[in-house]
């Protein structure tokens, strides 16, 4: 009875402390949190609406399982069969959360994923780790390798389940990146949002295992309207940690709170206030591509030559802006790699910046990729050799001159051919006439034609002078 009264008194004391934090929250003002670190992120774009110690290294506890789930979704099939090993089973202390898996027991990857995400079973996380990497240590290395691929700066994992270890830590910002990546898989919404799940009897277990989700943001009669998935965590070292996803009006937000303690259900109070702030104080705004001016930069091609490249945004950007703010209030900050090459061109981007953002909002509200375009080859001058494509005034003139020359040459050849034909016919006619004259009798031969001569002395006709013209002369 004494313990009961002590607990009741603690509840009565804590209740008034917890209520004002929610009741006095103004949707237009950033909340004051119990959490030591927190972040509120647009799940679609990664825009940060609220941050508190976002890069501080913190113990994550069981929200570590979000990374284990991400790798399992990427590298395994749901119906793959997993055989539990003694390593996976006995590495979990019996006083931590588990579902009493035993060595040699066989389950599917999907069943272990649900056991890990719904019941937060540490032995299920270990079973997936050994199945995917061969050992717990190898899977921890795989987790850190994936973290590096995601660009995480303040994360290091030593196990798949989140059990305490001084070398096992993350940050609110890094955990938001992991959650966004997992959210990109269609099955994540179900794995992280199922309230109850049953595992039928296995080769080692005769009874059905019934699992229950204890993320009260969405399991107690829809505690927060729109909340649909998440993961809880707790150890004495980490305090309460909580990841929650909620959707409202076409906007999906990710809320991360780390070491949220001080009152009962502080992690849920903090998360509720953050969601109220995100959905109440911000609205979706389209930023046209014309807002981002075209930029030019030196570009080094694969052949080592240098050109002046043009960089421009393609399409509009979607951002969340606080009330009373429009796209006209945004500035643009360009990030262009130096040197700009075929390998680095994809990194060129423009950042949309809101100067002096309200509350704990990050000033960069959006990032827009910049598309690269290279100049076309310049037209050659008129006195230069004609371009290969045959365009320009000089090539056209040369082409017409060639056509005219071809026509004239054709006419000349035609005239020469006609002349040759006529001369051949004329020679043929002369030869025929000769043959006829030689074969004809003398009387039939043409008689000589008299010619009249004038006597230069008398000026009279010299009729008596007759010139005999030989027939051969007529030919």
Q: Indicate which residues carry an active-site annotation.
A: 62, 65, 120
Q: Which residues, in sequence order, are bridge partners of residue 372?
A: 311
Cis peptide before 395 (omega within 30 of 0): no
What 3-state class would DSSP assign to 142?
A: helix
Phi, psi of 245 (to 5 degrees): -115, 135
What 3-state class would DSSP assign to 136?
A: helix
CA distance 240 to 61: 8
CA distance 124 to 102: 10
> Which of 371, 351, 368 is closest to 310 using CA atoms?
371
CA distance 209 to 218: 22
CA distance 210 to 364: 45
- Angle, helices 109-118 vs 65-75, to 10°: value is 160
Q: Give, in order, the Cα–Cα distances in Å from 41 to each of 151, 300, 472.
A: 17, 37, 121
For the chain, the straight-line distance linking the first and the last C-alpha, in angstroms and rounded, comes to 160
**Cβ-contact 223, 53 below 8 angstroms:** no
Q: Dihedral through CA 166, CA 172, CA 174, CA 178, nearest 10?
A: 110
Q: Give, in order, the Cα–Cα distances in Å from 464 to each of 449, 453, 469.
A: 14, 9, 15
CA distance 218 to 403: 84
Strands (DSSP E) along 142-220, which ranges? Answer: 196-199, 209-212
Phi, psi of 373 (to 5 degrees): -135, 140
**Residue tagged 């009729």 (tokens):** 463
DSSP H or E segment with residue 152:
none
């Amino acid at each position: 009875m004494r313990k009961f009264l002590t607990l009741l008194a603690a509840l009565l004391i804590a209740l008034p402390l917890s209520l004002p934090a929610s009741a006095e929250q103004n949707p237009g003002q950033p909340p004051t949190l119990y959490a030591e670190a927190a972040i509120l992120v647009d799940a679609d774009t990664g825009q940060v609406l609220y941050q508190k110690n976002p890069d501080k290294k913190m113990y994550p506890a069981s929200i570590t399982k979000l990374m284990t789930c991400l790798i399992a979704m990427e590298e395994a099939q749901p119906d793959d069969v997993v055989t539990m090993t003694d390593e996976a089973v006995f590495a979990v202390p019996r006083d931590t959360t588990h579902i009493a898996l035993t060595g040699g027991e066989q389950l599917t990857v999907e069943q272990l994923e649900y056991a890990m995400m719904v019941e937060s079973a540490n032995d299920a996380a270990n079973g997936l780790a050994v199945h995917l990497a061969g050992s717990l240590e190898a899977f921890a290395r795989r987790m850190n390798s994936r973290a590096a691929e995601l660009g995480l700066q303040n994360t290091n994992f030593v196990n798949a389940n989140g059990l305490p270890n001084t070398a096992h830590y993350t940050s609110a910002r890094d955990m938001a990146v992991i959650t966004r990546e997992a959210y990109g898989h269609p099955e994540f919404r179900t794995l992280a949002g199922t309230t109850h799940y049953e595992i039928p009897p296995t080769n080692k277990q005769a009874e059905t295992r019934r699992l229950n989700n204890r993320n009260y943001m969405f399991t107690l009669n829809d505690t927060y309207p729109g909340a649909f998935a998440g993961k809880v965590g707790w150890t004495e070292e980490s305090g309460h940690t909580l990841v929650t996803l909620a959707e409202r009006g076409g906007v999906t937000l990710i809320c991360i709170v780390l070491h949220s303690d001080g009152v009962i259900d502080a992690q849920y109070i903090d998360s509720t206030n953050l969601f109220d702030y995100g959905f109440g104080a911000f609205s979706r705004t389209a930023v046209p591509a014309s807002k981002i001016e075209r930029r030019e930069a030196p570009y080094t091609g694969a052949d080592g030559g240098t050109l002046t490249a043009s960089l421009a945004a393609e399409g509009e950007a979607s951002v969340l802006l606080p009330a009373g703010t429009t796209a006209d209030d945004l500035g643009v900050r360009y990030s262009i790699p130096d040197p700009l090459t075929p390998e680095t061109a994809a990194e060129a981007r423009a950042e949309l910046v809101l100067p002096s953002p309200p509350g704990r909002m990050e000033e960069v509200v959006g990032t827009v990729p910049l598309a690269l375009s290279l100049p076309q080859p310049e037209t050659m001058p008129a006195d230069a050799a004609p371009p290969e494509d045959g365009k320009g005034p000089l090539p056209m003139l040369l082409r017409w001159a060639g056509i005219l020359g071809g026509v004239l040459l054709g006419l000349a050849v035609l005239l020469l051919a006609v002349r040759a034909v006529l001369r051949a016919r004329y020679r043929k006619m002369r030869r025929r006439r000769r043959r006829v004259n030689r074969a004809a009798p003398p009387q039939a031969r043409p008689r000589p034609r008299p010619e009249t001569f004038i006597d230069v002395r008398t000026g009279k006709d010299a009729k008596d002078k007759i010139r005999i013209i030989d027939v051969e002369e007529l030919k």
